Amino acid sequence: MRLALREALLSFRRAPLLSALSITTIAFALFVVGLFGLVALNLHVALQHVEQRVEIVVYIRHGTPIEAVTTAMSDIQAFPEVDSVTYVSEDQALARARRELTEFQGIFRDLAQNPLPASLEIRLNPGYRDAQHVQAVAERLKGFQFADDVRYGRDWVQKLDRLRDIAGAVGLLIGLAFAAASVIIIGTTIRMTVLQRAGEITIMRLVGATDGFIRFPFLLEGTIKGAIGGAVAVGLNYAAYLVVSSTLFQGDFFTPLEAVAVVGFGMALGLIASAASVGRHTRHL
């Protein structure tokens, strides 16, 4: 083990240029993967913000006794899809309208009687904020006697659904493509190291080194390179994040655990790629 580690580290010292080259390629490959991860992460956060605004509004028939509404509210609150039910009284609706619709302030001020109905605003739990569930809940709400009208942005929710599906599919595909590209790049750089050390491997074979003994330092080397490349990639991503955050918009960065996962992913890629190319190439030497 110690010998293998020494051999692996020695190869960095013996071929600094090649090592730097492979670490750089791994770093950039992972940088792109990470960048995409960041985009996906921020898109996800943004979508969640939008999703939270998925809301169903039940307009309450004028003159409905408040007791009937409160009973209904606890019934609605018991729906598995429902996160919260808020009662907005007629007065509150008017106050809000005055506050938010400033251009009509004059009209609202001069009203003799409040024309706005009371309403229930219903928000759904995460996972139920898609067109299908929203519609199902809305249908159920229409069943209440006091429901004058039930509204939700149907088209809008459907568009959100599509956006979510596209983001998910594109994310998965591009992520996989870049991961595959990383494996190929790392495999190639490891193969270059193997070929560069072909003479050494031949000699190791002649003096009776086992396959495992010959391969282990390369696997270690690949894993170390993957780890360093992953760490560099996280650094590059952070730099990119800082630039974007200071110029375009305030986004989110990986949590420490996610950053460690990127490094771990680099290690795994390094290990897989070196195992694949070392196995194939040492056999011929």
Partner 1 sequence: MIKFTKVFKAYPKGTLALRDVTFHLAKGEFAFLTGHSGAGKSTVLRLIYAQDLPTEGEVRVSGYTTAKLSRREVPRLRRRLGIVFQDFRLLSDRTAEENVAFALEVTGARRGVIQPKVIRVLAQVGLAAKARAYPHELSGGEQQRVAIARALVNDPFVLLADEPTGNLDERATRGVVQLLRDINASGTAVLMATHDLDVVRAAQYRTIELQQGAIVYDSAVDDGNGGGRP
Closer by beta carbon to partner 1, 26 or else 204: 204
Closer by beta carbon to partner 1, 62 or else 280: 280
Rule CB under 8 A: choose which of 17, 206, 248, 257 binds partner 1: 206
Q: Which stretch binds partner 1 (CB under 8 A): 66-74, 196-204, 230-238, 262-270?
A: 196-204
**Which residues contact residue 169 at a Cβ distance below 8 angstroms, ignoring those fewer than 6 apart?**
none
Can you read off the two tokens belonging to residue 183?
């494996």
Alpha helices (H) in the chain, listed in sequence order? 2-14, 16-52, 66-77, 90-100, 105-109, 131-142, 154-196, 198-206, 211-247, 256-282
Q: Which of residues 1-40 bind partner 1 (CB under 8 A)?
A: 3, 14
Closer by beta carbon to partner 1, 63 or else 208: 208
Distance between CA 202 and CA 249 in Å, rounded?
56
Can you read off the two tokens belonging to residue 95?
């106050």
Q: Which helix (H) or strand (E) holds 148?
A: strand 147-151
Asked if 199 touches partner 1 (CB under 8 A), the answer is yes
Closest CA to 258 of 33, 73, 55: 33
Closer by beta carbon to partner 1, 78 or else 207: 207
Rule CB under 8 A: choose which of 137, 141, 204, 224 binds partner 1: 204
Smallest distance, Å, CB 11 to partner 1?
Answer: 10
Give the 3-state secondary structure of residue 59: strand
Smallest distance, Å, CB 272 to partner 1?
Answer: 23
Asked if 279 touches partner 1 (CB under 8 A), the answer is no
Q: How many residues bind partner 1 (CB under 8 A)?
A: 15
Question: Residue 256, exposed/middle/buried by CB under 10 A (0-12, 13-18, 19+)?
Answer: exposed
Q: Which stretch binds partner 1 (CB under 8 A): 72-80, 163-171, 197-205, 221-229?
A: 197-205
Q: Which of residues 208-227 bind partner 1 (CB under 8 A)?
A: 208-211, 213
Smallest distance, Å, CB 202 to partner 1?
Answer: 7
SS3 content of the chain, % helix, strand, coil (to 5): 75, 10, 20
Residues that bind partner 1 (CB under 8 A): 3, 14, 199-200, 202-211, 213
